[in-house]
């Protein structure tokens, strides 16, 4: 080969090598950045070329793609149930998505590796690939009952209902909420305007209070404290006696811990069942101090508190009893105050753990996923998260929680012909706001089908300082919906 041809050949080889280097650089290094670049309109339009799968709850369609008359955007996303399910479905927007729409995006848009065979079949048959359908564990009657009751309270709040034996989430409501439909248009300017309005709303309708915010759990946490106490000595039971002074001295401070309204708790020495029924503070503060921080933290961890981050599949904010401080702080944490912070989902897990004979199941929202032709892609497999207590301890605690509803602060949760177990709670707030009202419960007590936890922000006041009249009726309506009452 003569010199000119050699130079041309070398130049071609060099250019080809540079081209390959550039291709690899673009695909391996800059691909994600280019894909997410706001100037990349190809991806924007591509999002609307795919018929995303449906999101359903039983036979109810919560999200679906519908064809448009617009040649530019083939499909648009529609949410028939709007606000009721928005904290669960989330939304599918031009440049983002959230909640189930985000967590299951690759299945919904058909790009998941789990759908490779389906895509291959579609390729050979010349069929347009469709996204997979995601079916949720939500019970529509329970969800709608919870939304109606919480909305009518006129307060902010959240509720979670769980099937104790499986961990399936039957309802998850957060109010105030939002309509996802305006956020799912192909008009970026309109979507951005709608989103900004919601983001700037001081009531935070985009916040899923059930899993994204933690609150002091108040007296509902006494269920955890009681579990720790019963587990520490298997001779203890509902009729065991405990000191219950009107005020409990807090070591190394000038402060003390009173019962609500500085009231007496019985005659100063009461049964464990009575202490829980009347939600006395002093015996539970003393229990926490006697057991010590390590024992309280260990018991909380057995319910899933402070452990690995939960995903349902959306990530859940971490709950915690707070860092170790002193005995005074521990007494307050043991009655659900101080730095004790829980999500409503976590407190539903506490109730479900007692209901399920001490076993806490891992909560989940997705029941099954099927491809567009109905072929199974994935199916939920209930999984144990932890053992919170022995079966014997759970039976004792269950008996006491039934007494709370029948004889104590939660009579408003009673369902005729059904044994209901529960615990009310009041969580002090900063400023001059009324305390938050909490309630955790499960039913039927002898064979639980549903466990509920809810918070009504600033929902306790006056005669309803325990939250029993505000929160308990909401939980009752959800339990009735699940039980078909």
CATH code at 436?
Answer: 3.40.710.10
- Report the domain count for the chain: 1
Position 171 in a domain = no
Residue 246: pLDDT band (50, 70, 90) is: very high
Give the model's pLDDT for residue 89.
Answer: 98
Peptide bond into 197 cis (omega under 30): no
Note whether 25 and 33 are within 8 A (CB). no
Three-state DSSP at 36 gives helix
Mean pLDDT of 440-453: 98
Of the pLDDT bands very low, low, confident and very high (cuts 50, 70, 90), residue 36 is low
352 burial via Cβ count (<10 Å: 0-12, 13-18, 19+): buried
- pLDDT tens across 376-417, in order? 999 999 999 999 999 999 999 999 999 999 999 899 999 999
pLDDT exceeds 90 at position 330:
yes
Sign of CA dihedral 230, 362, 311, 367: negative
pLDDT band at 23 (very low <50, low <70, confident <90, very high): low
Mean local confidence (pLDDT), 470-481: 96
Q: What is the pTM of this model?
A: 0.88
Asked which of 42-51, 259-268, 335-344, 368-377 is least confident by mean pLDDT, the reply is: 42-51
18 has a pLDDT exceeding 80: no
Burial of 348 (0-12, 13-18, 19+ CB in 10 A): buried
Residue 485's pLDDT is 86
| Cβ count within 10 A of residue 430 | 5
Q: Is the model more confident about 315 or about 427?
A: 315
pLDDT at 289: 96
Distance in angstroms (rounded) separating the CA atoms of residues 93 and 195: 10
Please indicate, yes or no, if residue 394 is contained in any of the structural domains.
yes
Residues paired with residue 175 on neighbouring β-strands, in sequence order? 157
The answer to whether residue 225 sits within a structural domain is yes
Give the pLDDT confidence of 89-102 residue by residue, as tens digits.
Answer: 999 987 789 999 99
| pLDDT of 460 | 59
Residues 266/273, Cβ–Cβ less than 8 Å: no
Q: What span, in angstroms and rounded, lies between the C-alpha atoms of 58 and 44?
A: 31
Does residue 231 sit within a domain?
A: yes
Contact 174, 210 (CB under 8 A): yes
Residue 442: both structure tokens together: 């499960």
- C-alpha–C-alpha distance, residues 396 and 312, integer Å: 30
pLDDT above 60 for 27 = no
Distance from C-alpha of 253 to C-alpha of 314, rounded to nearest angstrom: 42
- The mean per-residue pLDDT over the stretch 289-302 comes to 97
In whole angstroms, what is the distance from residue 109 CA to residue 132 CA?
7
- Is-contact 361 385, C-beta < 8 A? yes
- Provide CB contacts within 8 A for 441, sequence distance 6+: 351, 401, 405, 410, 413, 420, 421, 422, 423, 451, 452, 453, 472, 475, 476, 479
Angle at which helices 391-407 and 344-355 pack, to 10 degrees?
A: 110
The pLDDT of 463-478, averaged and rounded, is 81
Q: What is the pLDDT of residue 263?
A: 85
C-beta separation of 184 from 66 below 8 A: no
Among 186-195, 307-316, 359-368, 426-435, where is mean pLDDT lowest?
Answer: 426-435
Q: Is the pLDDT of residue 28 over 90?
A: no
Parent domain of 277: 218-365+383-483
Please provide the average confidence, as pLDDT, over all residues in the chain. 89
Please name which of 205, 185, 6, 202 lies closest in space to residue 86, comparing C-alpha atoms: 205
Contacts of 315 (CB under 8 A, 6+ apart): 211, 309
Whether residue 352 contacts residue 345, with contact meaning beta carbons closer than 8 Å, is answered with no
Mean pLDDT of 46-66: 88
Q: 182-215: per-residue pLDDT in tens?
A: 998 878 888 899 999 999 999 999 999 999 999 9
- Examine residue 189 and state whether it is found in any structural domain, yes or no: no
Peptide bond just before 444 cis, omega within 30 deg: yes
Q: How far is C-alpha 363 from the chain's CA centre?
A: 8
* Residue 47: per-residue pLDDT: 66
- 44 pLDDT tier (thresholds 50, 70, 90): low
In a domain? residue 437: yes
Residues designated as active site: 219
Question: Does residue 140 surpass a pLDDT of 90?
Answer: yes
Helix (H, G, I), strand (E, B) or coil at 187: coil
Question: 96 in a domain, yes or no?
Answer: no
Is 251 among the domain residues? Answer: yes
What Rg value do the Cα atoms of the chain yield, rounded? Answer: 27
Nearest Cα neighbor of 54 from 104, 123, 126, 14 is 104
Q: What is the percent of the chain where pLDDT is above 90?
A: 67
CB-CB contact of 238 with 313 (8 Å) = no
pLDDT mean over 354-379: 94
pLDDT (0 to 100) of residue 14: 75
Whether the per-residue pLDDT at 126 is higher than 70: the answer is no
Above pLDDT 70, what percent of the chain?
86
């Amino acid at each position: 080969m003569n010199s000119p041809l050699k130079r041309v050949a070398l130049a071609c080889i060099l250019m080809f090598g540079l081209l390959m280097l550039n291709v690899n650089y673009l695909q391996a290094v800059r691909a994600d950045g280019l894909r997410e670049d706001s100037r990349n309109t190809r991806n924007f339009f591509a999002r609307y070329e795919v018929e995303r799968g449906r999101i359903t709850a039983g036979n109810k369609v919560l999200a679906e793609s519908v064809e448009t008359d617009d040649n530019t955007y083939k499909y648009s996303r529609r949410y028939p149930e709007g606000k009721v399910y928005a904290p669960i479905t989330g939304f599918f927007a031009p440049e983002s998505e959230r909640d189930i729409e985000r967590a299951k995006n690759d299945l919904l848009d058909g790009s998941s590796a789990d759908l490779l065979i389906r895509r291959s079949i579609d390729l050979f048959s010349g069929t347009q690939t469709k996204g997979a359908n995601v079916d949720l564990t939500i019970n529509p009657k329970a969800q709608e009952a919870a939304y109606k009751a919480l909305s009518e309270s006129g307060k902010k709040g959240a509720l979670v209902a769980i099937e104790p034996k499986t961990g399936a989430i039957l309802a998850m409501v957060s109010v105030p909420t939002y309509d996802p439909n305006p956020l799912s248009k192909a008009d970026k300017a309109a979507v951005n305007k709608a989103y900004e309005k919601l983001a700037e709303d001081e009531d935070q309708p985009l916040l899923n209070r059930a899993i994204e915010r933690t609150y002091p759990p108040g007296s509902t946490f006494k269920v955890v404290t009681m579990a720790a106490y019963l587990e520490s000595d298997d001779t203890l039971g509902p009729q065991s006696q405990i000191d219950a002074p009107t005020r409990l001295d807090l070591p190394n401070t000038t402060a003390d811990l009173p019962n609500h309204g500085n009231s007496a708790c019985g005659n100063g020495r009461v049964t464990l069942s009575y202490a829980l029924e009347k939600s006395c503070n002093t015996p539970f503060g003393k229990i926490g101090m006697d057991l010590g921080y390590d024992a309280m933290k260990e018991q909380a961890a057995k319910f899933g508190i402070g452990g690995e981050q939960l995903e349902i599949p959306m990530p859940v904010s971490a709950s915690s009893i707070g860092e170790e401080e002193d005995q005074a702080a521990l007494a307050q944490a043991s009655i659900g105050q101080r730095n004790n912070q829980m999500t409503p989902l976590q407190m539903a897990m506490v109730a479900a753990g007692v209901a399920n004979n001490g076993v806490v199941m891992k909560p989940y929202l997705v029941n099954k996923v099927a491809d567009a032709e109905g072929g199974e892609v994935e199916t939920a497999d209930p999984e144990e998260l932890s053992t919170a207590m022995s079966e014997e301890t759970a039976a004792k605690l269950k008996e006491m929680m039934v007494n709370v509803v029948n004889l104590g602060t939660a009579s408003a949760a009673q369902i005729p012909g059904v044994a209901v177990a529960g615990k009310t709670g009041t969580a002090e707030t900063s400023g001059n706001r009324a305390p938050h009202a909490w309630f955790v419960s499960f039913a039927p007590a002898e064979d639980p089908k549903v466990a509920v936890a809810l918070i009504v922000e600033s929902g306790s006041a006056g005669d309803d300082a325990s939250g029993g009249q505000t929160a308990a009726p909401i939980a009752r309506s959800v339990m009735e919906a699940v039980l078909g009452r």
